[in-house]
């Protein structure tokens, strides 16, 4: 209970803090912490964190379906920054079973959830079970439907070890896409070259496409599916 109250208080204290301040707090508070880096513009977190704590753990989920440009970019980040960048892979048996049963593009019929569960959530959970805290690049402006209420810091109840607390930090939550790109440009941060080709949100190759003028960035991901419905959230 105390942990919950502390995190709620901490969240309200950190709401007005800069991403660097939030990161500094997170990195000072937890030794066993890692940044989740997706190969898109959340590289700003890696840039900021490597200045605060060189050698910080960073992990990346390799679904086996990323764009070639994303692989090149991940490797560039590995060389550019003084971080401990780990690439995580899905369970080979689970992928094999999915592909044997349903082929390589089952997500176009069955929605992306099953494939993402195997290729992303499985390796993510395996990693998170070893950590006390993690850091994501989530922002409210990325998906008004599902992220409007994301806090700066929260309990991650989906991935915690039994009877333990896993803390999740979202330092960029109150930043806009424009602020992220200002930071990238002013600090010469390397970025995925797909961004220059009209991609805003970058995920797996078969599930990501460039967006046109006036389209929201989420329209570039899983475009064949209906807008995600937020049935499980408690709207307070």
Partner 1 sequence: MKITLVKKILADGSPCKKCGDVLEKLESSGQIAQIDTILTADERDPESDGMVLAKKLDVDRAPFFVVEKDGAAPLVYTVYMKFVKEVLNQKTEEKDELKEIMENNDDLDFL
Contact positions vs partner 1 (CB under 8 A): 1-4, 7-8, 36, 38, 61, 91, 94, 113-114, 116-118, 120-122, 124-125, 136-138, 142-143, 145-147, 149-150, 154-155, 157-159, 162-163, 203, 218, 221-222, 228, 230-236
142 near ligand SF4, rule: CB under 6 A: no
207 near ligand SF4, rule: CB under 6 A: yes
- Return the axis-axis angle of helices 43-52 and 177-186, rounded to nearest 10°: 60
Active site (annotated) includes residue 207: no
107 touches, from ligand SF4, partner 1, none (C-beta below 5 to 8 Å by class)? ligand SF4
**Cβ distance to partner 1 smaller for residue 28 or 158:** 158
206 near ligand SF4, rule: CB under 6 A: yes
202 near ligand SF4, rule: CB under 6 A: no
Answer for the pair 11, 152: CB distance below 8 angstroms, yes or no.
yes
Give exposure, 179-205, as e/b (b: 16+ Cβ within 10 Å).
ebeebbeeeebebbebbeeebbbbbbe
**Cβ distance to ligand SF4 smaller for residue 57 or 208:** 208
211 touches, from ligand SF4, partner 1, none (C-beta below 5 to 8 Å by class)? none
204 near ligand SF4, rule: CB under 6 A: yes
Provide the mask over 16-55, with x wherever binding to ligand SF4 is found by CB under 6 A and - wherever it is not.
----------------------------------------
CA 53 – CA 88 distance, rounded (Å): 22
**Cβ distance to partner 1 smaller for residue 178 or 235:** 235
How is residue 66 annotated by DSSP? Answer: B
CA 29 – CA 134 distance, rounded (Å): 12
- Copy the structure tokens of residue 17: 């803090």
Which helix H or strand E contains 72, and what residues bound it?
helix 68-80
203 near ligand SF4, rule: CB under 6 A: yes
CA 102 – CA 107 distance, rounded (Å): 9
Residues 6+ apart with CB under 8 A from 42: 36, 136, 137, 172
Phi, psi of 135 (to 5 degrees): -125, 130
- Among all residues, which ones are annotated catalytic? 232
Give the binding site for ligand SF4 (CB under 6 A). 63, 65, 107, 112, 115-116, 119-120, 203-204, 206-207
């Amino acid at each position: 209970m105390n942990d919950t109250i502390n995190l709620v208080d901490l969240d309200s204290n950190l709401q007005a803090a800069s991403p660097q301040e939030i990161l500094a707090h997170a990195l000072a508070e937890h030794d066993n912490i890692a940044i989740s880096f997706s190969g898109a513009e959340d590289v700003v977190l890696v840039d900021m964190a490597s200045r605060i704590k060189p050698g910080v753990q960073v992990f990346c989920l390799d679904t086996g379906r990323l764009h070639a440009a994303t692989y090149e970019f991940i490797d560039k980040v590995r060389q550019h920054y003084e971080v401990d960048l780990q690439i995580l892979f899905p369970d080979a048996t689970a992928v094999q079973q999915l592909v044997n049963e349903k082929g390589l593009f089952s997500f176009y019929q069955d929605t992306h959830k099953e494939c993402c569960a195997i290729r992303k959530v499985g390796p993510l959970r395996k990693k998170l079970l070893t950590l006390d805290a993690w850091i994501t690049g989530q922002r409210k402006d990325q998906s008004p439907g599902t992220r409007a209420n994301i806090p700066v810091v929260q309990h991650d109840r989906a991935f915690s070890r039994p009877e333990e607390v896993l803390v999740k930090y979202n330092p960029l939550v109150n930043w806009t896409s424009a602020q992220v790109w200002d930071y990238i440009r002013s600090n010469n941060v390397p970025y995925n070259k797909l961004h220059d080709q009209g991609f805003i949100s970058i995920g797996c190759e078969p599930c990501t496409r460039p967006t046109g003028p006036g389209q929201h960035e989420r329209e570039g991901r899983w475009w064949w599916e209906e807008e995600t419905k937020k049935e499980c959230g408690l709207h307070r």
